[in-house]
């Protein structure tokens, strides 16, 4: 995949498989939750919303196994009622690498159910492909720009995080850190441009970071700039 394809691509599967090695399990689960929260549905769906809340709490260690198992079962039933076993479904299953702990496994499986239900549930509001384009934008929100090495080659997650961690110490002011944590806790992503100003005041000149904060469009928990500042992976 080229940088241009990453920045403008609208094929969710291509983008997801390309970026999966760069995503922590936490970020991938939050991506699924963000898709549920921001995709317009013709009517509220209580199973989707409840499962989203539990997955989001679980990745931050604020939910126990019984609660995750409960919503996992409900989401699984919904998934089986609306999703056919297509090749894409099996590819998605193969791409999701479950971790060893029971809670993480249930969280992961529930996140997968959320994604598949959302893709196949009738009534996602408006143009059929609009939801998929939204999901591509949200994926780019949680994945740090993969093409910032020499000659535009893809950087590994470790190299990209190490590169930016050198900058963190210079501009992690109390104001910027407080803003970032508040944005995360309150889901107040309308404050992202204010965060950019605070980072600049602290000496940040990284264009990737500043432009990500200021660009129009959606942000979700797992946003790579907010995670970078708050120490989440």
Q: Where are the domains of the chain?
A: 3-142, 156-230
Q: How high is the pLDDT of residue 74?
A: 67
Least confidently predicted of 74-83, 92-101, 164-173: 92-101
Give the model's confidence band at 89: pLDDT under 50 very low, under 70 low, under 90 confident, else very high. very low
Q: Of 63, 67, 51, 59, which Cα lies nearest the Cα of 29?
A: 59
Least confidently predicted of 19-33, 122-136, 162-176, 218-232: 122-136
What percentage of the chain exceeds 90 in pLDDT?
A: 22
> How far apart (Å, rounded) are the C-alpha atoms in residues 180 and 61?
19
């Amino acid at each position: 995949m080229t940088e241009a394809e990453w920045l403008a691509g609208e094929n969710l599967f291509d983008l997801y498989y390309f970026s999966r090695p760069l995503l922590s399990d936490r970020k991938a689960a939050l991506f699924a939750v963000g898709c549920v929260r921001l995709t317009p549905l013709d009517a509220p769906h209580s199973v989707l919303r409840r499962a989203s809340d539990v997955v989001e709490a679980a990745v931050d260690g604020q939910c126990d196994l019984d609660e995750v198992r409960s919503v996992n079962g409900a989401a699984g039933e919904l998934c089986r009622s609306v999703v056919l076993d297509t090749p894409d479904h099996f590819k998605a299953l193969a791409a999701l690498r479950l971790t060893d702990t029971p809670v993480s496994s249930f969280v992961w499986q529930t996140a997968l159910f959320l994604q598949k239900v959302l893709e196949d549930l009738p009534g996602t509001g408006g143009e059929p492909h609009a939801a998929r384009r939204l999901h591509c934008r949200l994926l780019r929100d949680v994945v740090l720009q993969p093409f910032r090495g020499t000659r535009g080659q893809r950087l590994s997650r470790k190299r990209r995080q190490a590169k930016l961690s050198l900058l963190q110490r210079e501009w992690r002011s109390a104001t910027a850190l407080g803003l970032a944590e508040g944005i995360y806790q309150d889901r107040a992503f309308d404050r992202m441009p204010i965060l950019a100003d605070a980072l600049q005041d602290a000496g940040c000149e990284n264009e990737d970071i500043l432009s990500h904060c200021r660009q129009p469009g959606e942000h979700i928990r797992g946003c790579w700039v907010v995670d970078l500042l708050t120490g989440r992976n």
